[in-house]
Amino acid sequence: MYNSPKLSVVGAGPGDPELITIKAVNTLKSANVVLYDALINRELLDHAPQAEHIYVGKRKDKHRYSQDEINELIVKYASERGHVVRLKGGDPFIFGRGSEEIDYARSEGLETAVVSGITSSIAVPANAGIPLTKRGISESFWVITGTTTERKLSEDVRLAAQSTATVVILMGMGKLNEIVDIFSHFGKEDTPVGIIQNGTTVNEKSGFGTIRNIENVVSEQKLTSPAIIVIGEVVNERNKFEAVFSEVQALSRVEIPKF
């Protein structure tokens, strides 16, 4: 069935296929073409069995298409096929270039829509038992890209390191040494750090330490991208989460006496 030319930019959530919104699922069901990114869970494509699925992912040094080419593909397929869904990991408006694609599509006369997604910057730490804010511990948080369009570490990391806020860094594994140097420069060597790879998925791995030793932890645990870096006292809250989880598991193994 041909629909009028339209682009829907849809957030796929952080990785767990159940962490996608009902609106996103309904939007996928109406798609004629789905252009999907590297970080989305492929199971989500099952919500659009009637659509053509086209991979346009960009990973470090492995770009299948440039952003300009993706923009052109959106217009091409919308004009030829109707409803194009651009499926992006997390939320498309948080370091997802969703707004750029919306702007381009509108400039070409396409109808557009946005479906927000659950951002990995919040969901991944939460899934690991780390609250980004907690009364008496952290009053705010920063979410910063680790790598800018110039392939450099964001200058905002230096500002964040001087605050008492929780700092969440996306796409920062390749700049971990620089991040450690900045926080050390401001006397934050003992600040807790958590690194969570493939968060909320069955392949999740994590490592915890401090600014002083986190690079050793990464090496020992063989942590790589895609991963989220969380820096701040709230990282220690995971210990309480794990303690409660262990207690629940223990209780679940207790045999109930029969009378």
Tokens describing residue 197: 């790879």
Catalytic one of 16, 37, 175, 188: 37
Rounded Cα gap, residues 198 and 259, in angstroms: 47
Q: Do 170 and 160 touch, CB atoms closer than 8 A? A: no
Is 58 catalytic? The answer is: yes
Report how far residue 197's alpha carbon sits from residue 219's, in angstroms, rounded to the nearest whole number.
13
CA distance 199 to 197: 5
Q: Which of 23, 58, 134, 205 is catalytic?
A: 58
Per DSSP, helices labelled H in the chain are 22-29, 67-81, 98-107, 120-127, 156-161, 176-185, 214-221, 238-252
What's the CA gap between 147 and 58, in Å, rounded? 14
- What type of residue sits at position 214? I
Per DSSP, 213 falls in state T
Among 6, 16, 91, 171, the one annotated catalytic: 171
Tell me if residue 1 is catalytic: no
Is 173 labeled as catalytic in the residue annotation? no
Residues with catalytic annotation? 37, 58, 171
